[in-house]
Amino acid sequence: MKKNLFFTLMLSLLAITSAFSQTVNDKLISEIEVEYIQIVGTAKLFSNKAKVDIDFGQLNKFFSVKDTQVKDKDGKLMVFNSMIDALNFFSANGYDFQQAYTITIGNQNVYHYLMKKKS
């Protein structure tokens, strides 16, 4: 019984730690020290998945779009199933939804979600 409890606790701790180890521009999402972020999403070409860029006012290298994309704990770019998937991800990482709007550029919708850090 004690071994099962210990194993469950360790597994839970590992899951929590890895869930919050994603980064944007080499900063842990949980450690971004701004009040607001913007999630900008577009559909991936020939896919139902969403490509998501994050703006928190960071300084980016001139031609490096990877500075604005979320990376997993292994440094690989994350792909979201939809914009709602991205919204739920950031909610779980300490942000509340504030506002959304969509613009269309060349027959492609570009979704903008404004998020505020939870108090």
From first to last of its 119 residues, the chain has per-residue pLDDT tens of: 666 555 454 444 444 444 446 756 566 767 677 889 999 999 888 888 998 888 877 665 555 555 778 888 888 888 899 999 999 999 998 999 999 999 999 988 999 999 999 98
pLDDT of residue 91: 93
The DSSP output letter for 4 is H
pTM of the complete model:
0.68
Give 3-state DSSP helix, strand, coil % of the chain, rounded to 5. Answer: 30, 35, 35
The DSSP output letter for 21 is -
